Copies of this chain bind each other. A is one copy, B any other.
Amino acid sequence: MPSGEKLREMLDRTVSRIIQSYNRHGGINHIKGPSLPAQGEIIETLESLVSIIFPGFFDTSDINPANLKYHVGTKCEAVYQQLVDQINKCFRYFCKNESRCRPERLRCAVRSDKSCLAKAREIARALLTELPELRKILYTDVHASYRGDPAAKSLDEIILSYPGLAAIAVYRIAHILWAKKVPLLPRIMTEYAHSRTGIDIHPGATIGEYFMIDHGTGVVIGETTKIGKHVRIYQGVTLGALSIPHHVEQYRWKKRHPTIEDNVTIYSGATILGGKTVIGRGAVIGGNVWITRSVPANTQIIFEPPAFAMKRKKREAAPTKEGV
């Protein structure tokens, strides 16, 4: 066992070698420059926003008409300050650290910190101002889940416990920030929802009202996906891109993901790929269907299960193929 002395020496050696490696492997350090937004703060902000949108569902303290204005006011003020802080961090990071900075994507790229902060305030205000609109569309999403899921016993159950709604709410918040060209933050938000729900919606996707995702684990909705109104999606559905070549630069800003028109239902495990693939309004895509071409409106795509052998089991037969 090393004496305190030996331990100290060992630690000193290790620390020096780690710090040397910081210099050796750049691009995965963030030592100089403005600090990045911290995930903990972002989650807190998201949860405050959701509790403003659905008052009384996620509050530990009772809310009543008497304390409502005070309650919401306090929350909004806190959220505003948090948003300004985080958005500003993202802009400053982007301006200073982003070698590949694209002026066409982020106008403030050449501005001073001051204007980053001004822009952050502007966007935080805009997000708060859009909350009533956001409530309106999430209201339609809650109703879509209630109508679409026989297991749902009440609207409250959906708000309190449905992962699909949780992921959609975070996506809709993140998408507003994405549309305002805030770097990093929108993706950190949707990846937090992904972690909690298994539903991976890129903040760049555009999604209409009355959207429902049931169960949701394994759902992937890519960056350039376009989804209309009254669309229903079940667990394990991928709305993805076709093959990715080994040099992806020219693909980074292209439409790579499908377009889903109004009133489409896509059942579990279906895969729909390609930026030119359009699923026409009212179409129904069966479970496990694999689609890389467009589907006309009001058609049903019914999966024909591949043949399977059915045979009498021998005593203690080794079971069939599986995936453990």
Contact = CB atoms under 8 A, between A and B. Distances in A.
B300 A313 contact: yes
Interface in A168-204: 183-184, 187-188, 191, 194-198, 200, 202, 204
B302 A311 contact: yes
A154 interface: yes
Contacts of A198: 198, 217-218
Interface residues of A, number: 160
A305 B306 contact: yes
B267 A321 contact: yes
B52 A39 contact: no
Given A197-B195, A320-B243, A290 B290 contact: no
A282 interface: yes
Given A195-B196, A282-B313, A222 B151 contact: yes
A194 B223 contact: no
A244 B184 contact: no
A321 B15 CA distance: 46
Given A18-B132, A234-B324, A313-B284, A163 B243 contact: no
A228 interface: no
